[in-house]
Amino acid sequence: MSRTSTEEFEEFTLRVQLLRNSTVNIGKRAVQRLIKLTYPAGKVCHTKTDMETTNESGTNRKPI
């Protein structure tokens, strides 16, 4: 049974979305690493990850 062009196109678009998501995540990690290198203290630039790793009491916890 041969596959239709619609099925092939759907698989192609799914692969493109997965690839795009993975490259975005790699880019975010690179930016975070660059921020850590630029601001070694870590508290100079408040990023989203800094807010996420701080719990209600204000103490830092390691991300799981």
What pLDDT, in 10s, does the model give residues 10-63? 898 888 888 877 777 777 888 888 777 766 655 544 555 555 555 555 555 555
For residue 20, the model assigns a pLDDT of: 79
Q: Is 59 inside a domain boundary?
A: no
| Residue 5 clears pLDDT 70, i.e. is over it | yes
Q: Is 61 inside a domain boundary?
A: no
Domain containing 34 equals 5-52
Supply 38's token pair. 């630029």
Q: Is 46 inside a domain boundary?
A: yes
For residue 22, the model assigns a pLDDT of: 77
Q: Is 29 inside a domain boundary?
A: yes
| pTM of the complete model | 0.34
Q: Is 14 inside a domain boundary?
A: yes
Q: What type of residue is 1?
A: M
Whole-angstrom CA distances from 3 to 15, 18, 42 are 17, 21, 53
Q: How far apart are CA 3 and CA 7, in angstroms?
A: 6
Number of domains into which the chain is organized: 1
